[in-house]
Amino acid sequence: MASESLTSSEYIKHHLQNLTCTIKEGHFHCAHSAQEAKEMGFWAINLDTVLMSFLLGTIFLFFFTRAANKATAGVPSGLVNFVEWVIEFIDSSVRGSFSFKNSLVAPLALTIFMWIFLMNLMDLIPIDFVGQLIALYDPHMYFKIVPTTDPNATFGMALSVFFIVLFYSIKMKGLGGFVGELTLQPFGKFGLPANIFLEGVNLIAKPISLALRLFGNMYAGEMIFILIAIMGSTWAGFTIANATLFSSQILLSLIWAIFHILIITLQAFIFMTLTIVYLDMAHQEHH
Angle ∠(283,285,287) on CA atoms, nearest 5:
170
The answer to whether 209 is a known catalytic residue is: yes
Chain CA centroid to CA 130, Å: 19
CA distance 251 to 187: 56
Strands (E), the chain: 20-24, 27-30, 45-46
Catalytic residue among 152, 160, 213, 253: 213
- Could you report how far apart the first and last alpha carbons of the chain are, in Å? 60
Catalytic residue among 18, 93, 217, 233: 217
CB-CB contact of 23 with 2 (8 Å): no
Q: List all residues 6 or more positions away from 251 whose beta carbon is below 8 Å from its beta carbon.
A: none
Burial 41-74, CB ≥16 within 10 A → b, else e: eeebebbbbbebbeebbeebeeebeebeeeeeee
CB-CB contact of 248 with 287 (8 Å): no
Chain CA centroid to CA 46, Å: 14
CA distance 65 to 10: 43
Catalytic residue among 209, 242, 247, 248: 209
Order across the sheet with 20-24: list the strands.
27-30, 20-24, 45-46
The answer to whether 253 is a known catalytic residue is: no
The answer to whether 217 is a known catalytic residue is: yes
Q: Which among 231, 233, 209, 223 has a CA at the least distance from the CA of 260?
A: 223
Let me know if 112 is exposed, middle or buried by CB neighbors in 10 A (0-12, 13-18, 19+).
buried
Active site residues: 209, 213, 217
